[in-house]
Structure 1
Amino acid sequence: MRRILSASVAVAALTLTACGGSSSGGSPADNPSGPLSGTITVFAAASLTESFTALGRQFESGHPGTTVRFNFGPSSGLATQIVNGAPADVFASASPKNMTQVSDAQAAGRSVVFATNTMEIAVPQGNPAKIDSVDDLARKGVKVVLCAATVPCGATARQVLANAKITVKAVSDEVDVKSTLQKVGLGEADAGVVYVTDVRSAGDEIEGVLIPDAVNASTDYPIATLTGSRNSALAQAFVDYVTSPAGRAELSEAGFTTR
Protein backbone atom coordinates (compact mmCIF):
# COMPACT_ATOMS: atom_id res chain seq x y z
CA MET A 1 0.00 0.00 0.00
CA ARG A 2 1.28 3.48 -0.67
CA ARG A 3 -0.03 7.02 -0.44
CA ILE A 4 0.46 9.17 -3.49
CA LEU A 5 0.74 12.89 -2.88
CA SER A 6 -0.36 15.61 -5.28
CA ALA A 7 1.81 16.03 -8.33
CA SER A 8 3.98 19.13 -8.28
CA VAL A 9 3.64 21.73 -10.96
CA ALA A 10 6.16 21.30 -13.75
CA VAL A 11 9.40 23.20 -13.28
CA ALA A 12 9.17 26.86 -14.03
CA ALA A 13 11.67 26.63 -16.83
CA LEU A 14 9.13 24.75 -18.87
CA THR A 15 6.56 27.48 -18.71
CA LEU A 16 8.29 29.60 -21.30
CA THR A 17 9.20 26.80 -23.68
CA ALA A 18 7.70 27.53 -27.08
CA CYS A 19 5.91 25.01 -29.25
CA GLY A 20 7.94 23.31 -31.92
CA GLY A 21 7.53 24.22 -35.57
CA SER A 22 6.45 27.38 -37.35
CA SER A 23 2.84 27.03 -36.20
CA SER A 24 3.83 27.83 -32.62
CA GLY A 25 3.97 31.56 -33.21
CA GLY A 26 5.79 33.45 -30.47
CA SER A 27 7.12 36.26 -32.67
CA PRO A 28 6.59 37.69 -36.16
CA ALA A 29 9.92 36.15 -37.21
CA ASP A 30 8.67 32.70 -36.26
CA ASN A 31 5.25 33.25 -37.81
CA PRO A 32 5.03 35.41 -40.97
CA SER A 33 1.40 36.28 -40.22
CA GLY A 34 2.40 37.79 -36.88
CA PRO A 35 2.26 36.62 -33.26
CA LEU A 36 -0.54 34.39 -32.06
CA SER A 37 -3.48 36.08 -30.39
CA GLY A 38 -7.06 35.49 -29.36
CA THR A 39 -8.88 32.77 -27.46
CA ILE A 40 -9.46 29.07 -27.97
CA THR A 41 -11.71 26.60 -26.16
CA VAL A 42 -10.30 23.15 -25.47
CA PHE A 43 -12.68 20.27 -24.77
CA ALA A 44 -10.67 17.79 -22.68
CA ALA A 45 -11.24 14.60 -20.72
CA ALA A 46 -11.82 15.14 -16.99
CA SER A 47 -8.65 13.21 -16.17
CA LEU A 48 -6.64 15.95 -17.92
CA THR A 49 -7.92 18.69 -15.61
CA GLU A 50 -4.77 19.32 -13.59
CA SER A 51 -2.19 18.76 -16.33
CA PHE A 52 -4.03 20.72 -19.03
CA THR A 53 -4.77 23.60 -16.66
CA ALA A 54 -1.03 23.84 -16.04
CA LEU A 55 -0.26 23.52 -19.76
CA GLY A 56 -2.77 26.26 -20.54
CA ARG A 57 -1.05 28.65 -18.14
CA GLN A 58 2.35 27.79 -19.59
CA PHE A 59 1.12 28.29 -23.13
CA GLU A 60 -0.43 31.67 -22.32
CA SER A 61 2.82 32.73 -20.62
CA GLY A 62 4.81 31.83 -23.72
CA HIS A 63 2.29 33.57 -26.02
CA PRO A 64 1.15 36.86 -24.44
CA GLY A 65 -2.21 37.96 -25.75
CA THR A 66 -3.65 34.45 -25.95
CA THR A 67 -6.24 32.78 -23.75
CA VAL A 68 -6.92 29.06 -23.43
CA ARG A 69 -10.29 28.12 -21.97
CA PHE A 70 -11.20 24.58 -20.97
CA ASN A 71 -14.32 22.47 -20.83
CA PHE A 72 -13.48 19.31 -18.88
CA GLY A 73 -15.82 16.34 -18.76
CA PRO A 74 -16.39 12.73 -19.84
CA SER A 75 -14.93 12.14 -23.30
CA SER A 76 -18.12 10.55 -24.57
CA GLY A 77 -20.20 13.55 -23.56
CA LEU A 78 -17.69 16.02 -24.99
CA ALA A 79 -17.63 14.14 -28.28
CA THR A 80 -21.41 14.29 -28.51
CA GLN A 81 -21.37 18.03 -27.81
CA ILE A 82 -18.81 18.62 -30.55
CA VAL A 83 -20.70 16.54 -33.11
CA ASN A 84 -23.85 18.49 -32.23
CA GLY A 85 -22.11 21.76 -33.00
CA ALA A 86 -20.78 23.02 -29.66
CA PRO A 87 -18.20 25.74 -30.34
CA ALA A 88 -14.71 24.44 -29.61
CA ASP A 89 -11.23 24.53 -31.12
CA VAL A 90 -9.41 21.46 -29.75
CA PHE A 91 -10.54 18.05 -28.50
CA ALA A 92 -8.38 15.91 -26.20
CA SER A 93 -10.06 12.57 -25.54
CA ALA A 94 -9.33 9.78 -23.06
CA SER A 95 -10.27 7.24 -25.72
CA PRO A 96 -9.58 6.82 -29.44
CA LYS A 97 -13.19 5.63 -29.77
CA ASN A 98 -14.57 9.05 -28.87
CA MET A 99 -12.09 10.82 -31.13
CA THR A 100 -13.19 8.55 -33.97
CA GLN A 101 -16.79 9.60 -33.29
CA VAL A 102 -15.78 13.22 -33.86
CA SER A 103 -13.57 12.47 -36.85
CA ASP A 104 -16.26 10.39 -38.54
CA ALA A 105 -18.55 13.41 -38.27
CA GLN A 106 -15.84 15.43 -40.05
CA ALA A 107 -15.61 17.67 -37.00
CA ALA A 108 -11.91 17.08 -36.31
CA GLY A 109 -8.66 17.13 -38.20
CA ARG A 110 -5.95 14.50 -37.97
CA SER A 111 -5.49 13.32 -34.39
CA VAL A 112 -2.31 12.25 -32.65
CA VAL A 113 -1.97 10.12 -29.50
CA PHE A 114 -0.05 12.16 -26.95
CA ALA A 115 -0.36 10.11 -23.74
CA THR A 116 -1.45 6.86 -22.15
CA ASN A 117 -3.05 6.36 -18.74
CA THR A 118 -3.33 3.24 -16.60
CA MET A 119 -5.63 2.29 -13.76
CA GLU A 120 -5.19 2.22 -10.00
CA ILE A 121 -7.42 1.43 -7.04
CA ALA A 122 -8.33 4.52 -5.01
CA VAL A 123 -9.28 4.11 -1.35
CA PRO A 124 -10.11 6.66 1.37
CA GLN A 125 -7.38 7.86 3.68
CA GLY A 126 -6.50 5.07 6.10
CA ASN A 127 -7.98 2.42 3.79
CA PRO A 128 -10.73 1.43 6.28
CA ALA A 129 -11.91 -1.55 4.21
CA LYS A 130 -8.33 -2.91 4.01
CA ILE A 131 -8.24 -3.18 0.23
CA ASP A 132 -4.85 -4.65 -0.66
CA SER A 133 -5.46 -6.13 -4.10
CA VAL A 134 -7.85 -6.20 -7.04
CA ASP A 135 -9.37 -9.42 -5.67
CA ASP A 136 -10.44 -7.57 -2.53
CA LEU A 137 -12.87 -5.53 -4.65
CA ALA A 138 -15.01 -8.65 -4.99
CA ARG A 139 -15.17 -9.26 -1.24
CA LYS A 140 -18.65 -9.36 0.26
CA GLY A 141 -19.66 -6.02 1.71
CA VAL A 142 -17.01 -3.96 -0.08
CA LYS A 143 -18.56 -0.90 -1.74
CA VAL A 144 -16.94 -0.14 -5.09
CA VAL A 145 -17.69 2.86 -7.27
CA LEU A 146 -16.83 3.01 -10.98
CA CYS A 147 -17.18 5.43 -13.84
CA ALA A 148 -20.12 4.65 -16.11
CA ALA A 149 -19.33 1.97 -18.67
CA THR A 150 -19.94 4.43 -21.52
CA VAL A 151 -17.01 6.66 -20.57
CA PRO A 152 -13.33 5.70 -21.00
CA CYS A 153 -12.49 5.41 -17.30
CA GLY A 154 -15.44 3.06 -16.81
CA ALA A 155 -14.67 0.92 -19.82
CA THR A 156 -11.00 0.65 -18.82
CA ALA A 157 -11.84 -0.14 -15.18
CA ARG A 158 -14.15 -2.93 -16.30
CA GLN A 159 -11.36 -4.32 -18.45
CA VAL A 160 -9.24 -4.57 -15.30
CA LEU A 161 -11.99 -6.51 -13.53
CA ALA A 162 -12.37 -8.80 -16.55
CA ASN A 163 -8.62 -9.36 -16.67
CA ALA A 164 -8.66 -10.26 -12.98
CA LYS A 165 -11.62 -12.59 -13.58
CA ILE A 166 -13.68 -11.07 -10.79
CA THR A 167 -17.27 -9.82 -10.68
CA VAL A 168 -17.93 -6.49 -9.01
CA LYS A 169 -21.30 -4.76 -8.79
CA ALA A 170 -20.66 -1.05 -8.39
CA VAL A 171 -22.71 0.82 -5.82
CA SER A 172 -22.86 3.68 -8.35
CA ASP A 173 -21.76 4.47 -11.89
CA GLU A 174 -20.40 8.02 -12.03
CA VAL A 175 -20.36 10.46 -14.93
CA ASP A 176 -16.56 10.79 -14.99
CA VAL A 177 -13.39 9.97 -13.09
CA LYS A 178 -13.52 13.07 -10.88
CA SER A 179 -17.01 12.19 -9.65
CA THR A 180 -15.85 8.64 -8.96
CA LEU A 181 -12.86 9.85 -6.98
CA GLN A 182 -15.02 12.27 -5.01
CA LYS A 183 -17.25 9.41 -3.84
CA VAL A 184 -14.18 7.62 -2.50
CA GLY A 185 -12.77 10.75 -0.88
CA LEU A 186 -16.04 11.41 0.91
CA GLY A 187 -16.08 7.87 2.27
CA GLU A 188 -19.22 6.96 0.32
CA ALA A 189 -17.36 4.00 -1.21
CA ASP A 190 -14.61 1.71 0.04
CA ALA A 191 -12.75 1.83 -3.27
CA GLY A 192 -12.88 2.99 -6.86
CA VAL A 193 -10.95 2.03 -9.96
CA VAL A 194 -9.65 5.23 -11.51
CA TYR A 195 -6.63 6.53 -13.41
CA VAL A 196 -3.25 6.59 -11.70
CA THR A 197 -3.04 10.30 -12.56
CA ASP A 198 -6.20 11.06 -10.60
CA VAL A 199 -4.97 9.21 -7.52
CA ARG A 200 -1.78 11.25 -7.74
CA SER A 201 -3.62 14.57 -8.04
CA ALA A 202 -6.10 13.84 -5.22
CA GLY A 203 -3.74 14.59 -2.35
CA ASP A 204 -3.82 13.17 1.17
CA GLU A 205 -7.52 12.29 1.24
CA ILE A 206 -6.93 9.41 -1.20
CA GLU A 207 -4.55 6.48 -1.07
CA GLY A 208 -3.65 4.28 -4.03
CA VAL A 209 -3.39 0.51 -4.32
CA LEU A 210 -1.33 -0.60 -7.28
CA ILE A 211 -2.81 -2.96 -9.85
CA PRO A 212 -0.39 -5.61 -11.17
CA ASP A 213 0.63 -5.18 -14.80
CA ALA A 214 -0.70 -8.66 -15.57
CA VAL A 215 -4.29 -7.53 -15.02
CA ASN A 216 -4.06 -3.78 -15.47
CA ALA A 217 -5.49 -1.92 -18.46
CA SER A 218 -4.73 1.38 -20.15
CA THR A 219 -6.23 3.88 -22.56
CA ASP A 220 -4.65 6.15 -25.16
CA TYR A 221 -5.32 9.89 -25.32
CA PRO A 222 -5.60 11.45 -28.80
CA ILE A 223 -5.76 15.20 -29.47
CA ALA A 224 -6.86 17.11 -32.59
CA THR A 225 -7.87 20.54 -33.77
CA LEU A 226 -11.53 20.89 -34.68
CA THR A 227 -12.76 21.86 -38.12
CA GLY A 228 -15.15 24.41 -36.65
CA SER A 229 -12.35 26.34 -34.94
CA ARG A 230 -12.41 30.10 -35.49
CA ASN A 231 -8.72 30.36 -34.55
CA SER A 232 -7.12 27.37 -36.21
CA ALA A 233 -3.57 28.75 -35.93
CA LEU A 234 -3.86 29.13 -32.17
CA ALA A 235 -5.59 25.75 -31.87
CA GLN A 236 -2.77 24.03 -33.76
CA ALA A 237 -0.16 25.85 -31.70
CA PHE A 238 -1.73 24.53 -28.50
CA VAL A 239 -1.78 20.99 -29.88
CA ASP A 240 1.88 21.42 -30.81
CA TYR A 241 2.64 22.55 -27.27
CA VAL A 242 0.90 19.56 -25.71
CA THR A 243 3.04 17.24 -27.84
CA SER A 244 6.27 19.25 -27.34
CA PRO A 245 9.01 18.26 -24.86
CA ALA A 246 7.60 20.79 -22.36
CA GLY A 247 4.12 19.36 -22.73
CA ARG A 248 5.35 15.80 -22.35
CA ALA A 249 7.29 16.79 -19.22
CA GLU A 250 4.16 18.21 -17.58
CA LEU A 251 2.12 15.13 -18.51
CA SER A 252 4.82 12.77 -17.26
CA GLU A 253 4.94 14.68 -13.96
CA ALA A 254 1.20 14.08 -13.64
CA GLY A 255 1.68 10.32 -14.10
CA PHE A 256 0.86 9.87 -17.77
CA THR A 257 3.03 7.81 -20.08
CA THR A 258 3.91 10.08 -23.00
CA ARG A 259 4.76 9.45 -26.64
Structure 2
Amino acid sequence: AFEKETGAKVNFNYAGCAQLLTQMEINKQGDVFVGGSLNDMDIAQQKGFTDQYVEVAYHIPAIAVPKGNPAAITCLADLAKPGVRLILGDEKTNAIGKKGAKIFEKNNLQAAIAKNVVARGATVNEIVTQIGMKQGDAGLVFEDNGVDAKNIEIIPIPQEQNAIDKVPVCVLSFTDNKELAQAFVNFVKSDEGKAIFVKHGFKTIDQ
Protein backbone atom coordinates (compact mmCIF):
# COMPACT_ATOMS: atom_id res chain seq x y z
CA ALA A 1 0.00 0.00 0.00
CA PHE A 2 2.83 2.43 0.86
CA GLU A 3 4.62 1.55 -2.37
CA LYS A 4 1.46 2.24 -4.39
CA GLU A 5 0.91 5.59 -2.69
CA THR A 6 4.50 6.86 -2.92
CA GLY A 7 6.10 4.89 -5.73
CA ALA A 8 8.96 4.05 -3.37
CA LYS A 9 10.34 0.51 -3.27
CA VAL A 10 10.36 -1.00 0.23
CA ASN A 11 13.07 -3.59 0.90
CA PHE A 12 12.62 -5.78 3.98
CA ASN A 13 15.29 -7.49 6.06
CA TYR A 14 13.71 -10.17 8.26
CA ALA A 15 15.71 -11.57 11.19
CA GLY A 16 15.69 -11.87 14.95
CA CYS A 17 15.95 -8.46 16.60
CA ALA A 18 19.30 -9.23 18.22
CA GLN A 19 20.69 -10.07 14.78
CA LEU A 20 19.18 -6.92 13.25
CA LEU A 21 20.63 -4.72 16.00
CA THR A 22 24.06 -6.28 15.45
CA GLN A 23 23.79 -5.72 11.70
CA MET A 24 22.89 -2.07 12.25
CA GLU A 25 25.78 -1.58 14.64
CA ILE A 26 28.24 -2.99 12.12
CA ASN A 27 26.84 -1.63 8.85
CA LYS A 28 25.05 1.56 9.94
CA GLN A 29 22.51 0.91 7.20
CA GLY A 30 18.74 1.04 7.09
CA ASP A 31 15.94 3.59 7.13
CA VAL A 32 13.28 2.20 9.48
CA PHE A 33 13.42 -0.34 12.32
CA VAL A 34 10.39 -2.34 13.47
CA GLY A 35 11.18 -4.03 16.78
CA GLY A 36 9.64 -7.12 18.29
CA SER A 37 9.52 -5.53 21.74
CA LEU A 38 10.05 -2.26 23.57
CA ASN A 39 13.31 -3.69 24.91
CA ASP A 40 14.64 -3.87 21.35
CA MET A 41 13.90 -0.18 20.89
CA ASP A 42 15.52 0.68 24.23
CA ILE A 43 18.71 -0.97 22.97
CA ALA A 44 18.44 0.89 19.66
CA GLN A 45 18.16 4.18 21.55
CA GLN A 46 21.08 3.35 23.84
CA LYS A 47 23.23 2.68 20.77
CA GLY A 48 22.19 5.94 19.16
CA PHE A 49 20.25 4.34 16.30
CA THR A 50 17.18 6.49 17.00
CA ASP A 51 15.96 9.15 19.39
CA GLN A 52 12.21 8.51 19.24
CA TYR A 53 9.72 5.84 18.23
CA VAL A 54 6.00 5.10 18.04
CA GLU A 55 4.11 2.10 19.40
CA VAL A 56 1.66 0.66 16.87
CA ALA A 57 0.46 -2.77 18.01
CA TYR A 58 0.49 -5.27 20.84
CA HIS A 59 2.75 -8.31 20.63
CA ILE A 60 0.85 -11.01 22.50
CA PRO A 61 2.56 -14.33 23.34
CA ALA A 62 0.49 -17.47 22.87
CA ILE A 63 0.88 -21.24 22.89
CA ALA A 64 1.27 -22.95 19.52
CA VAL A 65 0.48 -26.63 19.02
CA PRO A 66 0.48 -28.85 15.92
CA LYS A 67 -2.81 -29.10 14.03
CA GLY A 68 -5.12 -31.39 15.98
CA ASN A 69 -3.27 -30.71 19.26
CA PRO A 70 -2.10 -34.34 19.74
CA ALA A 71 -0.74 -33.68 23.25
CA ALA A 72 -4.06 -32.11 24.35
CA ILE A 73 -2.44 -28.88 25.54
CA THR A 74 -4.96 -26.40 26.98
CA CYS A 75 -2.97 -24.00 29.17
CA LEU A 76 0.47 -22.92 30.39
CA ALA A 77 0.48 -25.50 33.19
CA ASP A 78 0.18 -28.28 30.61
CA LEU A 79 3.55 -27.24 29.16
CA ALA A 80 5.18 -28.25 32.44
CA LYS A 81 3.78 -31.79 32.48
CA PRO A 82 6.40 -34.56 32.23
CA GLY A 83 7.04 -35.75 28.70
CA VAL A 84 5.70 -32.69 26.87
CA ARG A 85 8.16 -31.69 24.14
CA LEU A 86 8.63 -27.93 23.98
CA ILE A 87 10.19 -25.74 21.30
CA LEU A 88 10.95 -22.26 22.62
CA GLY A 89 12.81 -19.17 21.47
CA ASP A 90 16.33 -18.31 22.51
CA GLU A 91 16.12 -16.43 25.81
CA LYS A 92 19.01 -14.12 24.89
CA THR A 93 18.50 -13.33 21.22
CA ASN A 94 14.82 -13.09 20.29
CA ALA A 95 11.70 -11.43 21.60
CA ILE A 96 9.57 -14.55 22.11
CA GLY A 97 12.41 -16.32 23.92
CA LYS A 98 12.78 -13.42 26.34
CA LYS A 99 9.02 -13.17 26.81
CA GLY A 100 8.77 -16.89 27.43
CA ALA A 101 11.32 -16.67 30.22
CA LYS A 102 9.31 -13.88 31.87
CA ILE A 103 6.03 -15.77 31.50
CA PHE A 104 7.40 -18.98 33.02
CA GLU A 105 9.00 -17.06 35.88
CA LYS A 106 5.77 -15.16 36.51
CA ASN A 107 3.87 -18.45 36.77
CA ASN A 108 6.57 -20.36 38.70
CA LEU A 109 7.06 -22.88 35.91
CA GLN A 110 10.76 -22.36 35.07
CA ALA A 111 12.16 -25.61 36.48
CA ALA A 112 9.53 -27.91 35.00
CA ILE A 113 9.61 -26.11 31.65
CA ALA A 114 13.41 -26.37 31.41
CA LYS A 115 13.17 -30.18 31.60
CA ASN A 116 10.79 -30.29 28.63
CA VAL A 117 12.67 -28.11 26.13
CA VAL A 118 13.82 -30.17 23.13
CA ALA A 119 14.86 -27.27 20.88
CA ARG A 120 15.18 -23.49 20.74
CA GLY A 121 14.44 -21.57 17.57
CA ALA A 122 16.53 -18.60 16.46
CA THR A 123 13.36 -16.87 15.26
CA VAL A 124 9.67 -17.22 15.98
CA ASN A 125 9.12 -18.34 12.37
CA GLU A 126 11.44 -21.29 13.00
CA ILE A 127 9.33 -22.27 16.00
CA VAL A 128 6.14 -22.08 13.91
CA THR A 129 7.70 -24.32 11.25
CA GLN A 130 9.00 -26.87 13.76
CA ILE A 131 5.69 -27.08 15.62
CA GLY A 132 3.84 -27.41 12.32
CA MET A 133 6.10 -30.35 11.44
CA LYS A 134 5.28 -31.94 14.83
CA GLN A 135 8.88 -31.79 16.03
CA GLY A 136 7.45 -30.66 19.36
CA ASP A 137 4.14 -30.86 21.21
CA ALA A 138 3.95 -27.13 21.86
CA GLY A 139 5.86 -23.88 21.78
CA LEU A 140 5.52 -20.19 22.45
CA VAL A 141 4.89 -17.82 19.55
CA PHE A 142 2.91 -14.61 19.11
CA GLU A 143 -0.83 -14.66 18.41
CA ASP A 144 -0.31 -13.09 14.99
CA ASN A 145 1.90 -16.02 13.92
CA GLY A 146 -1.19 -18.21 13.79
CA VAL A 147 -3.07 -16.17 11.18
CA ASP A 148 -1.44 -17.60 8.06
CA ALA A 149 -0.01 -20.80 9.53
CA LYS A 150 -2.00 -23.81 8.34
CA ASN A 151 -0.26 -26.49 10.39
CA ILE A 152 -0.55 -25.03 13.89
CA GLU A 153 -3.29 -24.01 16.30
CA ILE A 154 -3.07 -21.08 18.72
CA ILE A 155 -4.07 -21.33 22.38
CA PRO A 156 -4.38 -17.89 24.06
CA ILE A 157 -2.67 -17.21 27.37
CA PRO A 158 -4.83 -15.33 29.93
CA GLN A 159 -3.72 -11.73 30.34
CA GLU A 160 -2.92 -12.16 34.04
CA GLN A 161 -0.49 -14.99 33.18
CA ASN A 162 0.96 -13.32 30.11
CA ALA A 163 3.74 -10.80 29.41
CA ILE A 164 2.31 -8.67 26.62
CA ASP A 165 4.65 -6.36 24.73
CA LYS A 166 4.31 -3.72 22.03
CA VAL A 167 5.60 -3.35 18.48
CA PRO A 168 7.66 -0.13 18.16
CA VAL A 169 8.68 1.57 14.90
CA CYS A 170 11.31 4.26 14.36
CA VAL A 171 13.31 6.18 11.79
CA LEU A 172 16.99 5.25 12.01
CA SER A 173 19.55 7.99 12.64
CA PHE A 174 21.82 6.86 9.80
CA THR A 175 19.14 6.82 7.09
CA ASP A 176 19.94 8.58 3.82
CA ASN A 177 16.21 9.06 3.21
CA LYS A 178 14.93 10.70 6.38
CA GLU A 179 11.87 12.31 4.80
CA LEU A 180 10.78 9.09 3.08
CA ALA A 181 11.57 7.02 6.18
CA GLN A 182 9.39 9.33 8.29
CA ALA A 183 6.63 9.04 5.69
CA PHE A 184 6.78 5.25 6.08
CA VAL A 185 6.54 5.49 9.88
CA ASN A 186 3.61 7.90 9.51
CA PHE A 187 1.92 5.40 7.21
CA VAL A 188 2.49 2.52 9.65
CA LYS A 189 0.85 4.44 12.50
CA SER A 190 -2.03 5.71 10.35
CA ASP A 191 -5.47 4.08 10.32
CA GLU A 192 -4.63 2.49 6.96
CA GLY A 193 -1.37 1.12 8.30
CA LYS A 194 -2.94 -0.22 11.47
CA ALA A 195 -5.64 -1.93 9.41
CA ILE A 196 -2.86 -3.98 7.81
CA PHE A 197 -1.65 -5.02 11.27
CA VAL A 198 -5.20 -6.09 12.18
CA LYS A 199 -5.47 -8.09 8.95
CA HIS A 200 -2.38 -10.04 10.02
CA GLY A 201 -3.67 -10.87 13.48
CA PHE A 202 -2.40 -7.98 15.61
CA LYS A 203 -4.37 -5.86 18.04
CA THR A 204 -3.40 -2.24 17.48
CA ILE A 205 -2.63 0.14 20.33
CA ASP A 206 -5.88 2.06 19.94
CA GLN A 207 -8.08 -1.07 20.02
Highest Rg: 1 or 2?
Answer: 1
Aligned match of 2:152 = 206
Following superposition, the deviation at residue 86 of structure 1 comes to 4.1
Which residue, 82, 102, 119 being the options, matches 1:159? 102
In 2: Cα distance, 1:141 partner to 1:254 partner: 33
Aligned match of 1:225 = 171
Tell me the alpha carbon deviations over residues 129-187 of structure 1, each in whole angstroms, 9 at most, x when there is no partner. Answer: 11111111011111001110021111112222222222302211111100111110111
Which secondary structure state, in structure 2, belongs to the residue aligned with residue 73 of structure 1?
coil
Aligned match of 1:128 = 70
Following superposition, the deviation at residue 109 of structure 1 comes to 3.6
* Structure 1 unaligned spans of 5+: 1-57
Asked whether 1:72 is paired with 2:4, we answer no
Aligned residue identity for 2:141:
V
Q: Is the 8 A contact 2:64 2:128 kept in 1?
A: yes
Q: Is the 8 A contact 2:62 2:157 kept in 1?
A: yes
Tell me the alpha carbon deviations over residues 221-254 of structure 1, each in whole angstroms, 9 at most, x when there is no partner. Answer: 1111111111111111111100000011111222
In 2: Cα distance, 1:109 partner to 1:159 partner: 27
Aligned match of 1:168 = 113
User: What is the total number of aligned residue pairs between the two structures?
Assistant: 200
* Structure 2 unaligned spans of 5+: none
Q: Is the 8 A contact 2:28 2:174 kept in 1?
A: no
Return the TM-score normalized by structure 1.
0.74
Aligned match of 1:29 = none
Aligned residue identity for 2:127:
T
Return the TM-score normalized by structure 2.
0.91
How do residues 71-220 of structure 1 correspond to structure 2 at under 5 angstroms?
Answer: 71-150=13-92, 151-166=94-109, 167-169=112-114, 170-203=117-150, 205-220=151-166
In 1: Cα distance, 2:48 partner to 2:147 partner: 35
Could you tell me the percent identity over the aligned residues?
Answer: 31
Which secondary structure state, in structure 1, belongs to the residue aligned with residue 12 of structure 2?
strand
In 2: Cα distance, 1:94 partner to 1:199 partner: 16
Q: Is the 8 A contact 1:120 1:199 kept in 2?
A: no
Which residue, 197, 202, 206 being the options, matches 1:256? 202
Please provide the CA RMSD for this pair.
Answer: 1.3
